[in-house]
Each structure stands twice: as structure tokens, then as C-alpha cells.
Structure 1
């Protein structure tokens, strides 16, 4: 009954009653997901971890999916959880842990196709928007944002990663299935609009069609200078007015998001070269990726006194750099999760060491746990997602064990992950229903089950 996590946190097994909705209340059911839950749960010796896994891993399917067939095509709308809107970022991340099962489950496969189709609609509606409604008549709580959003847009915060996640989903699906039917005319239009938007946000002439103003007391909710952001010097990098946390950037060149764009552009180059036989666009994408990589190497790597060469989090091209990280993905920590080429890269390894040190202003240590936080939730809250990503990017069994212990001891007896919790008091947390964090925790448990089953 015991595991090497110890017995201090274990409860009587009878206490661990599933918190999943009744079968008839679930928004989507995958037979292969259910089989995987049973298979993994049956070999987890730690009953509390088994219970958390059962609650968390299927949470996206259980609670957030609106699937139907529209005009003969699958269409999947996935809300983020307690906010009734779909983020391009969150929706991809929410289904990502189910992707390895698509070849075994035709209904799950259609769900992913439907999400690809829905994301294409969203990009074509507004490539600068980060979150959308399915109901075009629904009025956003941010209806006073300027300029006013189009019908169907929940929020129009320009974040590079939103478009990257759209590429990631389609590329990941194709790699698993070899199904090129998703690359239709609308998908092609959306991908070319993505690259066009990236190009515009390089701001070669110092201008951009994008501004964002919000009436708010929250200073991180909009860029300064009438919604245009701080000055930048052209570098070849792409400007992002917001981080994946939906907070405004300090300096517009957000490095983890630019590196994500580099990866996405190379994925597009491969698809257009090998599948769609559009060599001209493939070359444009590949050249763009090289341009970003060269700019990162020139403007975003510095020698740290204690850690050697590391990546900055944000830069402006004038020489100003921010050294920190944010628990949201893409982050500097998550680079090896988004693309395993970073795993053994010396600069990434140095950066990772910096990120889990006291030199990172958003690495917090408290009585309850230690881990990455985010300016989005203040100076005292740790993000479970940050702890999960630390474990997912680690090859060190003791480090993974430590992360599991912290995740297990900070869910505040809810059986679910949250957005953030106070470093000294896990019961002081934000967001009861955050499907991305829940599903990501499930992905971690599956990975540990595969690679280090003795930790469970």
C-alpha cells in the first residue's frame, strides 16, 4: 500500500470517491481514455495519487467539450473551465494528453479534427484574438475593450503562442495519423494568415496594426502607451503584447513565445514541403524560423554570474532584458516539453537551473511547497502547472519524486489542480475548475507510470 512518496499524506482508501461527473453528465466519453485510466490507476500504489489521476486526467472530456457536426464536418469547441470561452492555447493543451490515443478511438479522432476545424475558424475570424465564443451573439464581459472586438471574440489579447498552438495541434495530429485531410483550403488560408501576422508583428518599420486598451485597475491587463507597448528596436523577433498568462509583456520580445514560433514555423515548413508541395511557402517559413533563431542568439542570451549563458524572458532590442519565468506555457522551463531538442541544449540546461533557484524572482518557496509562480497571481502564489512542467522536463528521479509530493500535498483535499495556491497555505487557491492544469497533471502521471513506475 505504501510508495516511496511516504505515508504521511495517505488517507483511508474509502475516502477517495471519484469526483468525476456521472456518466450521463459528461460532455464527451472516450472508450480508450477510460481504458487508460483503469490501466494506470490499477498499478498506482499510492491511493491518493490514483484518485487525483482519475479525477484530473479526463477533466477536459468530462466537463468542457461541445462537439457536433456542422456542414458535414466535425466541430469541437472546448471551454477553458470556469470561464465560458475557448482559448486557442488552452484548447490545444487540454486535448494534448489524449492525442496518443487517436488511432485507437475514432470518436476521439473526430474530436481532434473538430478542434482543428474550429481553431481555423477562430484564426480566420481574428488572428490577434486569444479567446472566442461559439455563440456569435454572446456579449463579452470585455465589451468595452478598444478597439471593439468582432462578434464571437471573447478577448483580443495578442499572444504569439495562441497561433503557435494552432500549428502544434494540426502538426501533432498529422504526425500521429498521417491524415492530410485536415489540410484543406481554409486551413491553408489560416496558416498563411498566421505567418502574415507574425511578419506584421516583427514591426520592421516600427508600426503595427494592433493596439489594445482596457479600462481596468489591473496594471498588467493592457500594454502601456495607449495600448502599443514599450519601444522596441527591430531585431527579427516577433512582438507579443501579452504573455500566455494573458498579462501584458514588460518588453515586447517575449523569448519563449518566439522560440515556440520558431518551432511552429519549422513544423509548417515540413508540412508545406512534404505534404502540400508548396515549396515557396515552405522556404518562407523555414527562413523565418532561422531569422528568429539568429535573433534569439544575438539579443536574448546573456552570461549569468552563477549559471553561465542563459535565455532572457523578455528583451526590447536595445539591450534591456528581463530574467524571470512565468509558470504558463510557453515558458522558458517548458521549452523542453514543447520540443525535446531543448532537453540537452546547454543554454536551456543553464536556464533551467536558474529558474529553480532563488535568483528567479518568481520562484517561490514557502511552508507548503516551492515552485514557479506568475505575476498574474501576485508575489506569493505558486502554480501547480509550474511544478508539473518541472517534472515533465526532468530526467532526475528525485526531482520528479519531489514534484509529485508537492502536487499531492497542495491540492487542498479537492482532488484537482488549481491555477495557483499560496506558498504557505494550499487552501488559499485560485480557480476550482481549470481543465488545462488538471489534464496536464494526468499527462505527468502517465509519463511517470511509463518511465518511473516505482515513484507511484
Structure 2
């Protein structure tokens, strides 16, 4: 798609998604009391899927609260309505997915944004074409630079992100931002694995994809830093300390104990201790998924064995270096460690997080260590847990103190074993959207009308996924919502 048309669609979608960031008036209903759809009209939607439209109708019929049903109808298709751009590249399907109000594709966000549509892909050829294009595009991105977190529509272009233009790093054509985050590569594997398991489709997993997956494994090994710091370094001149990396761009010291180093968290904020625990836990899951795919799709047992060996090494190192005490005699997971014995406890709203370990499949919801960790993260022991008159939830350094991220409330609902707790999460999500009809990046703990990012597709997708999950597994919570 040409840049002018992409810009036009972004402006139309942004208007449909609620306009500018800031304070929004409450505009929920017409005089008749009916909630007005905030979706773009069909002619202006970036992508349409009959299966998704049927799913919206199916799930809405199970929701007792008209406002919650309205939020679901707005949020669930938001990624398809506003962020997906289909094209061809090198004669094959290509899909580029922007985050919303930033015209670049994050590996993490794009994978998470389309995740809720995977169960529908087997019965929708248009969705399969979308996923084939996205899997290919992500493989190309990883081939360009496995250390980058965000990419441009033009694989030969130079970054258009004003804050990234003068970064001191080995910037490549096609890269929008080059922050090394373990989870970026994990999300690509998770999305590809989920699509393959749901559809059985082998078509996008060609030699280019295989080569990119080999780059993933090599990068993880390289960032265990057993033989020196490796090639990655990053510095940025910024008034925000979490936007740059100390010690020449190689990060704070850590012992090479088998864990994978990460310079940034999934929030795009710099790590304090570079052995980031949720990212390493996610890598364990992703490496097992990659091994399964390699055996089944390509009969590559040697590569699969290498993936499993690294997963086992990382998991053993987590058990040895990333477990701490909560002060009451219970074991919990640390957030970051350095392998020297120093451990940081906190949690951030972005996935992967400590709160989200069960959601991502690293452990069961009823695992005792996870339960203690989850409880501690949702308490004053976590400096980024905020409790106000509007809601409780987790934020992070990215948007600062008092700012709760709705994603943290969604993850709490996903991992809850209590109907009352889940119902409370639904209430908070419904009452903090500030009349916009969409989820946001963050909102003030006492004033939901003060929020960031009116158009943040990942949060909308995760909300839609949550409602579908509840409709299928806990329908009584939606009937009485």
C-alpha cells in the first residue's frame, strides 16, 4: 500500500477510534439510550472477515450488560478495522500490522493484536491469507535484524520514528526501533505456533521462515553472553533514563549463568538487571513450541533438540537464580536478577509479566509459586501497583506513577480463579474507558478521563480475547454483568 493511502486510512481510523489522546467527554449513547458503534463504516475498514462478524454476533448475544456488549463490539475487531494492511512482497502475501497511533510494526504488538482471531482462521480464507502474510513479514523482519523490536512498512526504508533517528546502535534498513527485548522473538513464535495448531496450514513455514527461526535460536544463545557481550549495544540521548542502556550500551553487569540477557522490557523500558525473568520464562515456552513445529513441519529433529536443550537450560537457571522470598516464607519469582545474587521484585503491566506467566503457558494458574507471585505483584510490595478511587491495577515506568494499564486488569481476569475477582475486573474495565468505547494504554487511578493512547490496538484485542474467553468458559459472568 502506498504511503499516502496508508496515512489516509490511519487518520480515518484514528477518528473512528476516538480522536486525540487526553480527556474525552462521555458520549456513550444517543437520546434513545442505544450505544452507538465506534467502528469505522464497512467501506473504511482496513480488513473484513465474515468469521469475525459472526463471532461478534455470537458473543454479544451472551452478554447481559449493553455497555459491556458495546465495548466488545468496538474493541474485538479494532485491529482488523484499523491497523491491518495487506499487500504482496516478493510475489507472496504480505501483512503489515501497525500498533495504532504509531505507523510501525512491533513484533510483540502485531502478534498479540491478531491472536484472538486465530481460532477463527480455519474457517475463513481471508484470515488465513492475513496470517500467512504476517508470518512471512515477521520472518523477514527477523532476518533483517533479530535484535530490533519494531519495523517499517518498507524493508529498505530508514526509520521515521523521531525518537529513534539518532540512536547509537547498528541500525539497519527496514528497522523502526532497535531495542533488544527477548519477548519480541517469543511473540512471533507464539503467534506462528498458535496459527499452525489451529489450522494445520504448512504454507507460510518455508525455508525463509526456517532460516529466521535459526536466527532466533542463535540470538538467544548469543545473549546468554557466555563468550562476551555479543554484538548488540544501544544508547539514546534522552531525558528519560529508561530509554537508554548504561555501560556503553551493553547494560548493567550480570553473570552468565544460562539466562538470556535482555536490555529492554516489553514496555520498551530499559532493564535494571539484564536477566529479565518473565522474558526468560516466555523463552522457555516459545522454544518448546518452536521445537514442536520443527519436528512436525520439517522433520528437523536436530534443531528441535537444540531448542529443547536451551529451554531446559534457561528453566534450570530460572529455578536457581530467579526465586526469592516474599517476606512471609513463600517462594515467589523475581522480576529481574543479575546472577550475582541481586534480585528485583516489581511487576509491569506489559506482557510478558510475572502476573502473566500463567496466561502465557509457563505454569498453571494454581501453581503455588505463581499464586504467591501474583498476589505480591497486586500489592504495595510492587512499586508499580496503584490503587485509587477508579480502579486498582499495575502500571510501570513507561507512563509513570498513578497510571494503571487496563492490560494488567485483563491479565488478572484471565488468570483468576474467583468469580468475584473476575467480575470486579470487568467492572473496572467498563467504568474506566472514559466514554470512548475503547481500552487505553493507561489511565489515572482516580480520573479515568485522563488517559494515554486513544488508539492502542493491543489493549483492544486483549479485551476482546478476554470477553470471548469468558463467553466460552464462564458465561454466567457475562450474563449477569
TM (norm. structure 2) is 0.91
From 217, 225, 232, the equivalent of 1:195 is 217
Report the number of matched residues: 448
**1:18 equivalent in structure 2:** 37
Q: 1:261: Cα distance to partner?
A: 0.5
- Contact 2:242–2:269 (CA<8 Å) still a contact in 1? yes
**2:253 equivalent in structure 1:** 231
- Contact 2:282–2:362 (CA<8 Å) still a contact in 1? no
**1:75 equivalent in structure 2:** 94
How many Å separate the matches in 2 of 1:214 and 1:192? 29
- Structure 1 residue 415 corresponds to structure 2 residue 427: no
- 1:421 is paired with a residue of what secondary structure? strand
- Structure 1 residue 321 corresponds to structure 2 residue 343: yes
- Contact 1:93–1:436 (CA<8 Å) still a contact in 2? yes
- Aligned ranges 1:238-317 → 2 under 5 Å: 238-306=260-328, 308-317=330-339
- Contact 2:281–2:362 (CA<8 Å) still a contact in 1? no
- 1:342 is paired with a residue of what secondary structure? coil
Deviations 1:141-177 (A, max 9, x none): 2110112511211100000000011111111111111
- Structure 1 residue 402 corresponds to structure 2 residue 424: yes
Q: Which has the higher contact order (CA 8 A, sep 6+)?
A: 2
Q: 1:13: Cα distance to partner?
A: 6.5
- Structure 1 residue 151 corresponds to structure 2 residue 173: yes
Q: 1:359: Cα distance to partner?
A: 1.5
Across the aligned residues of Structure 1 and Structure 2, the Cα RMSD in angstroms comes to: 1.5
- Aligned ranges 1:174-185 → 2 under 5 Å: 174-185=196-207
- Contact 2:220–2:260 (CA<8 Å) still a contact in 1? yes
How many Å separate the matches in 1 of 2:329 and 2:213? 38
How many Å separate the matches in 2 of 1:454 and 1:73? 44
How many Å separate the matches in 1 of 2:346 and 2:364? 18
How many Å separate the matches in 2 of 1:214 and 1:364? 29
Gapped regions of structure 2 (runs ≥ 5):
1-27
Q: 1:287: Cα distance to partner?
A: 0.7
- Aligned ranges 1:28-427 → 2 under 5 Å: 28-135=47-154, 136-140=156-160, 141=162, 142-306=164-328, 308-339=330-361, 341-427=363-449
**2:16 equivalent in structure 1:** none
Deviations 1:421-444 (A, max 9, x none): 010110111101000000110111
- Contact 1:164–1:261 (CA<8 Å) still a contact in 2? yes
- Contact 1:64–1:81 (CA<8 Å) still a contact in 2? yes
- Contact 2:104–2:150 (CA<8 Å) still a contact in 1? yes
Q: Which moved more, 1:160-169 or 1:265-274?
A: 265-274
Q: Which moved more, 1:76-85 or 1:372-381?
A: 372-381
Deviations 1:281-307 (A, max 9, x none): 111111100000000000000122236
Deviations 1:314-360 (A, max 9, x none): 00000111101100000111111111643232211111111112222
- Contact 1:265–1:286 (CA<8 Å) still a contact in 2? yes
- Contact 1:302–1:312 (CA<8 Å) still a contact in 2? yes
Deviations 1:12-56 (A, max 9, x none): 763410000011110000001011111211231211101111110
How many Å separate the matches in 1 of 2:406 and 2:449? 13
How many Å separate the matches in 1 of 2:32 and 2:182? 45
How many Å separate the matches in 2 of 1:138 and 1:34? 37
- 1:182 is paired with a residue of what secondary structure? coil
How many Å separate the matches in 1 of 2:61 and 2:367? 37
How many Å separate the matches in 2 of 1:54 and 1:239? 40
Runs of 4 or more consecutive aligned structure 1 residues displaced over 4 Å after TM superposition: 10-13
How many Å separate the matches in 1 of 2:417 and 2:314? 28
How many Å separate the matches in 1 of 2:178 and 2:276? 18
Q: Which moved more, 1:272-281 or 1:242-251?
A: 272-281
- Contact 2:345–2:382 (CA<8 Å) still a contact in 1? yes
How many Å separate the matches in 1 of 2:141 and 2:157? 15
- 2:103 is paired with a residue of what secondary structure? coil
Q: Which moved more, 1:48-57 or 1:276-285?
A: 276-285
How many Å separate the matches in 1 of 2:402 and 2:32? 33
